[in-house]
Structure 1
Amino acid sequence: MDDHRPVSPDDRSRDVTQPLSALGPNESLKAGSDFLRGTIAQGLTEPLSGGISADDQILLKFHGIYQEDDRDLRDERRRQKLEPAFEFLVRLRMPGGICQPAQWLVLDELARTYANGTLRLTTRQTFQFHGILKKDLKRTIQGIDKALIDSIGACGDVVRGVLCASLPERSRLHAEMYDLAKRTSEHLLPKSRAYHEIWLNETKVAGSPAEDEPLLGRTYLPRKFKIAFAAPPSNDVDVYTHDLGFIAIAEDGRLAGFDIVAGGGMGRADNDPTTFPRLADPIGFCGPDEVIEIAETVVAIQRDYGDRVTRKHARMKYTIDNRGVEWFKGELERRLGRRLEAPRPFVFTANTDPFGWTEGEDGRWHLTLFVENGRVKGRMMEGLRAIAAIHQGDFRLTANQNLILANIPAAERGRIEAMLAEYGMGEGSTAPSQLRRNAMACVALPTCSLAMAESERYLPGFITRLDGIMAECGLAEVPIILRMTGCPNGCARPYVAEIGFTGRGPGTYNLYLGGGYHGQRLNRLFLENVDEDTIVATLAPILRRFAAERFADEHFGDFLIRVGLVAPVTSGRDFTPIK
């Protein structure tokens, strides 16, 4: 096998190379993996362990699968000299977050048969299964395949699932954008047949052409790559947090094209000021028919120039930050062979979901349901199973971990409302507070191996405590964006929240303040490594001051900056905590 990879080729040619031995270990692993096969198939049949090898764990991510273990049991199993209680996460690839009722029923059954009995809606408009044992992995993937869904590229150093604005009230625009999101996702998928061979028992055909990855190459991308399609005035996909974003520009009610933004990303390493979140920069404007070409070209630029030596600097945000926006735009235009038009004006006003009933342009109805931290379980899971059995529309997963019962015929609305009431999800049920409905948390403990603190299990109780302060201040109906993760990686996008938390250790968090209400501004570190009582004691007087001094319709993050409690973050490098 050729031990070289491209560094900066001239468009499609790959004549400039560098030895893989000089690069990071992941690069050699990918190059020698036989296009993502490794020894995964053999590891699945190994009876002596519930896990697989370290190398195959890296490759398994390209198949949408993570090895985890139940950390609640880790100490006890260690005392008993047992290996960790290994289990697996399976994340589906579902561009745009559309799920048909028949597919929902299949996924519900798989969750109850092989996983932990719940469905997790993610911040990337897809499902995750948790708690799957190694012996059940293949049957789970085969069940997903029968529902005409897959998990290819849901993780790993490839283009992840592509997001699309939910747009329940704008039927025509949503249809156009969803089609583009889906086609973009399909176009940028790995070409390897490893997934089909390992999980679906596909057999190699003798004499078939040699396998190749014409876009991604044998080393694939330096790190994960995320794409989103947004539609003003809603930024419900947090488009600025993505490697590549397309912002819809509508003129006279029709889709004229997209503003292009590039270079966003949330992850950072703890106590490492060389890593930071970054918001995407405007690059230009393109027509709808140019989207896939531009997406492929941007991916190729990152393939060629992304850092393959230091993995924590391998995201495209660092490629653009190091080389400059003008360099990136010039390289994109050079490869396209044409100049990009200037970005066109637009306005974002929020990045939240429109809860409740909305009528679409075509007369069909859409209902957005609150799903706390995206975890569908218990009575809600039962109710959605019953609705899926009769639903004549579809389901839309939002990037805020909520669920839309979409495209309900007007004649069926009453029936759906009756079923919601029966299962405790109707308008008569207790409505979540504004703070709760605009909050998000990652999974964190007990399964995520990166978690340093609780998140999903902890946030509901913490919000209850903050809700009391909000009510005392007369702020119960004022929306504030609050997000929490169990580590610095930022899966719930905490660094653009008005109030953000990242875990530092058991019961302790960093507190960030001052993000933009519609995702247009990073926040700043306010307290470091503090417990709940300290956080509450700090936030309480700030919230009281906000209630007393805010302008009409002023958002919390904007207020903090106006009165000087937080200095605005002007760039990713400016985010670096000041000791």
Structure 2
Amino acid sequence: MLAHSVLSPATCPRVGRGVSRRGQLVVTNVATPNKPPASRLARRSKVEVIKENSDFLRHPLMQDLVDDQPMISEDSIQLMKFHGSYQQDDREKRTRGAGKVYQFMMRTRQPAGLVSNELYLTMDDLADQYGNGTLRLTTREAFQLHGVLKQDLKTVFSSVVKAMGSTLGACGDVNRNVIAPPLVDRTRKEYAVAAQLAEDIADLLAPQSGAYYDVWLDGEKFMSMERENPKVTKDRAFNKFGTNIEGPEPIYGPLFLPRKFKTGVTVPGDNHIDLLTNDLGVVVISDDKGEWKGCNIYVGGGLGRTHRNEDTFAAIASPLGYVDKEDVFHVVKAIIATQRDYGRRDDRRQARLKYLVHQWGVDRFRSVVEQYMGKKMEPFVPLPAWEYKDYLGWGEHGDGKLYWGLYVQNGRVKGEAKKALREVIEGYDLPVIITANQNLILTDINPADKDAITKKLSAAGLRDRDDWDAIELTSMACPALPLCGLAVTEAERTLPDVNAAIRATMTRVGLPEDEPLIVRMTGCPNGCARPYMAEVGFVGDGPNSYQLYLGGSPNATRLADVYEERVKHGDITSTLEPLFAYWSQSRRTGESFGDFCGRIGFDGLRSFAESYEPSGAPAKAAAAAAAPANGNGKAAAPAKAKAAPAATGGSTPLESQLTALLQEAAAKGGKTPEQVLADLLKKAAQE
């Protein structure tokens, strides 16, 4: 279909959008901004045409699924994403001369990461019977099942639905899985509100046409609409201010969204979910009595970018405003409608909400949202500082039962650990929660069962948090090779070795063995494991090669910046060692590596690294690092530094006294002890 067959507010700013069953647009009355967005190319991307011609995600997928080919067509590949699956092939088997070995990855939708006992056991069975024998926990609190063959897809999908799960909207140009901090403290009302909001927003924005059930269940619906919050149903249908489109998809229309849309819900102070990386961030606000009264709203976060394309970038979300709880679903719809009608559809690399917010600015974006909502937003409610929480280890629900947060390396449940988890979850009838850090929480544990469960899982390698390295506990990697079609290098399979090498390097330069450090790695620039928020982030840019990002904050509120391009896998530790050495000797008390990098700046770090001498105390490098300003224009004044390592054999009392005096003078003057000593010697020579 030609591009000119579709009207948009960009070219017709005072009309709305409606569609017939066949996807043709029908003009309806709707309130839209007086000033249309900046003009854009009339052409549309290929994916837009595929969506429009699909009869709301049905065709040609339904035909492709029943033919005798091991793969589906290019058009169906795009549609398949909306249903929760990607077609993949094992590149390692392909390179061994076996040709392409097609298979599918299926992803579930688990609002707030909540998983029933029945669904977990179903996923475990499916992994063994139809997958590659493993389960993958994702950074968006869901399952991924790898290795499913085309002929088994209907069985796998229908099994998930019959276990009261879903894959609808887990991928594709719609709202993805809605994440929230784990609901483990049942004495905190706001956490229950956040979990319920995650489920309600997921229901509100789920595709409505019924294509999902036509494709996978031959039209039979196992999940009744009666299960959703009645207010969700009511507010979805509300259309006084033109958010809705006539037709089977009242919120999305036949074209759905221009690109993926990610939503996170949390409570003040809890940044377990990396809230600011989402297109839409919702923060539960309570009154003085602890009752939910409304929500703060953030917009415009997103991490995906393209190498060597400066028009693409990672971004953190900006505050938009506050709404009362009665208006939460309305503001969500208004934001979706704004992105639907004004987001770019000609260039998928510029189609995320963050680019619209960047182009317009927050004030203009808010104005359009308010027109779709029919009222003004209120000022943003002040929030406390954010803190990252990992939810690992044993804890109490507050109702007499316990939970146990288990670290799962890179989210891959496999081998003996998978078997032991199955036995415990089935034997003790436990629900679970998937966390936003790819870990698993066993919930509703009777205190009398704690020792037996601990013994069983520890024997299978699932140990308590104190038995893991601090770097491991916060690190994440995407699956990458060999199955992800976008990956250019390793991530999941190599990060454990990289973490071990980083710890050894940190120890070698004098850092404590339990020093935390947030390390994340992806095999491509799309950022699924959120490397752009890490203190040390590795972004694949070629075979065994990574962009090195530094400077993210431990509470995930500051983006990292690229420090060096094309760092080979074998050069990772030699690149990081001088930076860790500088941090070790010049950090402020309790200062994290990310904050240290942000304070010193990259010019200061590079200057130190250029003169670094690994074999001894880096006094020469410390002096060289005293640059007047860093690349961001900040003063690169090192703060209080630790003394250089003493010579073998210890130090005399006089040496110890001089060292203490130098440290004190350095702290007062914002210099290193070596700089203070050099200044004193220079002054003495002049006199």
Quick one: structure 1 residues 518 and 19, their matched pair in 2 at CA, closer, same or farther if it must change by over 3 Å? Answer: closer
- Counterpart for residue 312 of structure 1: 349
Bigger CA drift: 250-259 or 372-381? 250-259
Counterparts of 2:51 and 2:421 in 1: how far apart (Å)? 40
- Counterpart for residue 574 of structure 1: none
CA contact (8 A) 2:41 2:346 kept: no
CA deviation after TM superposition for structure 1 residue 506, in Å: 1.2
The code of the aligned residue for 1:39 comes to P
- Counterpart for residue 625 of structure 2: none
Q: Does 1:226 align with 2:262?
A: yes
CA deviation after TM superposition for structure 1 residue 519, in Å: 1.2
| Other structure's SS at 1:282 match | strand
- Counterpart for residue 27 of structure 1: 48
Counterparts of 1:475 and 1:7 in 2: how far apart (Å)? 58
Quick one: structure 1 residues 420 and 301, their matched pair in 2 at CA, closer, same or farther if it must change by over 3 Å? Answer: same
Counterparts of 1:416 and 1:203 in 2: how far apart (Å)? 40
Quick one: structure 1 residues 299 and 568, their matched pair in 2 at CA, closer, same or farther if it must change by over 3 Å? Answer: farther
CA deviation after TM superposition for structure 1 residue 392, in Å: 4.5
CA deviation after TM superposition for structure 1 residue 10, in Å: 5.3
The code of the aligned residue for 2:400 comes to G
- Counterpart for residue 525 of structure 2: 488
Quick one: structure 1 residues 279 and 183, their matched pair in 2 at CA, closer, same or farther if it must change by over 3 Å? Answer: same
- Counterpart for residue 587 of structure 2: 550
Q: Does 1:126 align with 2:147?
A: no
Counterparts of 2:632 and 2:439 in 1: how far apart (Å)? 29
- Counterpart for residue 576 of structure 1: none
- 1:375-425 CA deviation, whole Å, 9 max, x = no partner? 000111011101111335421101110111123233443443343234342
Q: Does 1:181 align with 2:202?
A: no
Quick one: structure 1 residues 477 and 255, their matched pair in 2 at CA, closer, same or farther if it must change by over 3 Å? Answer: farther
Q: Which one has the largest radius of gyration?
A: 2
Counterparts of 1:250 and 1:379 in 2: how far apart (Å)? 44
- Counterpart for residue 575 of structure 1: none
- 1:535-568 CA deviation, whole Å, 9 max, x = no partner? 2112112112212222222221111121223669
CA contact (8 A) 2:601 2:632 kept: no
- 1:341-390 CA deviation, whole Å, 9 max, x = no partner? 21122234432403211223333322111011100001110111011113
Q: Does 1:40 align with 2:68?
A: no
Counterparts of 2:329 and 2:449 in 1: how far apart (Å)? 37
Counterparts of 2:326 and 2:514 in 1: how far apart (Å)? 42
The code of the aligned residue for 1:7 comes to P
- Counterpart for residue 102 of structure 1: 118
CA contact (8 A) 1:156 1:223 kept: yes
Counterparts of 1:352 and 1:5 in 2: how far apart (Å)? 46
- Counterpart for residue 6 of structure 1: 8
Quick one: structure 1 residues 399 and 541, their matched pair in 2 at CA, closer, same or farther if it must change by over 3 Å? Answer: same
Quick one: structure 1 residues 356 and 219, their matched pair in 2 at CA, closer, same or farther if it must change by over 3 Å? Answer: same
Quick one: structure 1 residues 145 and 332, their matched pair in 2 at CA, closer, same or farther if it must change by over 3 Å? Answer: same
The code of the aligned residue for 2:86 comes to Y
Counterparts of 2:382 and 2:397 in 1: how far apart (Å)? 25
RCO higher in structure (CA 8 A, sep ≥6) = 1
The code of the aligned residue for 1:266 comes to L
Q: Does 1:560 align with 2:560?
A: no
- Counterpart for residue 180 of structure 2: 164
Q: Does 1:196 align with 2:213?
A: yes
Counterparts of 1:91 and 1:483 in 2: how far apart (Å)? 21
Within a 5 Å distance, the mapping from 1:167-566 to structure 2 comes to: 167-171=183-187, 172-202=189-219, 212-252=248-288, 253-427=290-464, 431-472=467-508, 473-565=510-602
Counterparts of 2:166 and 2:183 in 1: how far apart (Å)? 24
CA RMSD after TM alignment: 2.4
Q: Does 1:87 align with 2:100?
A: no
Counterparts of 1:68 and 1:526 in 2: how far apart (Å)? 32
CA deviation after TM superposition for structure 1 residue 12, in Å: 5.7
- Counterpart for residue 637 of structure 2: none
The code of the aligned residue for 1:160 comes to R
Q: Normalising to structure 1: TM-score of the pair?
A: 0.92
The code of the aligned residue for 1:179 comes to Q
CA deviation after TM superposition for structure 1 residue 470, in Å: 2.3
Gapped runs of 5+ residues in structure 2? 19-26, 29-35, 222-245, 604-629, 634-687
CA contact (8 A) 1:245 1:261 kept: yes
Bigger CA drift: 443-452 or 402-411? 402-411
CA contact (8 A) 2:296 2:381 kept: yes
The code of the aligned residue for 2:49 comes to S
- 1:175-213 CA deviation, whole Å, 9 max, x = no partner? 221111101101111112121111112279xxxxx9621
Counterparts of 2:462 and 2:175 in 1: how far apart (Å)? 35
- 1:121-169 CA deviation, whole Å, 9 max, x = no partner? 0000000000111111111111111211111111111111111111423
Quick one: structure 1 residues 237 and 11, their matched pair in 2 at CA, closer, same or farther if it must change by over 3 Å? Answer: farther
- Counterpart for residue 112 of structure 1: 128
| Other structure's SS at 1:548 match | helix
Quick one: structure 1 residues 111 and 537, their matched pair in 2 at CA, closer, same or farther if it must change by over 3 Å? Answer: same
CA deviation after TM superposition for structure 1 residue 50, in Å: 1.3
Quick one: structure 1 residues 398 and 448, their matched pair in 2 at CA, closer, same or farther if it must change by over 3 Å? Answer: same
CA contact (8 A) 2:322 2:377 kept: yes
For residue 149 of structure 1, the aligned residue among 158, 162, 165 is 165
Bigger CA drift: 347-356 or 368-377? 347-356
Gapped runs of 5+ residues in structure 1? 205-209, 571-579
Bigger CA drift: 389-398 or 264-273? 389-398
Counterparts of 2:268 and 2:454 in 1: how far apart (Å)? 30
Counterparts of 2:40 and 2:361 in 1: how far apart (Å)? 26
Counterparts of 1:289 and 1:379 in 2: how far apart (Å)? 48
Q: Does 1:68 align with 2:88?
A: yes
Counterparts of 2:365 and 2:466 in 1: how far apart (Å)? 50
CA contact (8 A) 1:523 1:569 kept: no
CA contact (8 A) 1:522 1:569 kept: no
Q: Normalising to structure 2: TM-score of the pair?
A: 0.78
Identity %: 39
Quick one: structure 1 residues 348 and 401, their matched pair in 2 at CA, closer, same or farther if it must change by over 3 Å? Answer: farther
Counterparts of 1:568 and 1:380 in 2: how far apart (Å)? 47
Counterparts of 2:104 and 2:374 in 1: how far apart (Å)? 45
Counterparts of 2:561 and 2:410 in 1: how far apart (Å)? 23
Counterparts of 2:632 and 2:533 in 1: how far apart (Å)? 10
CA deviation after TM superposition for structure 1 residue 170, in Å: 4.9
Quick one: structure 1 residues 32 and 344, their matched pair in 2 at CA, closer, same or farther if it must change by over 3 Å? Answer: same
CA contact (8 A) 1:108 1:385 kept: yes
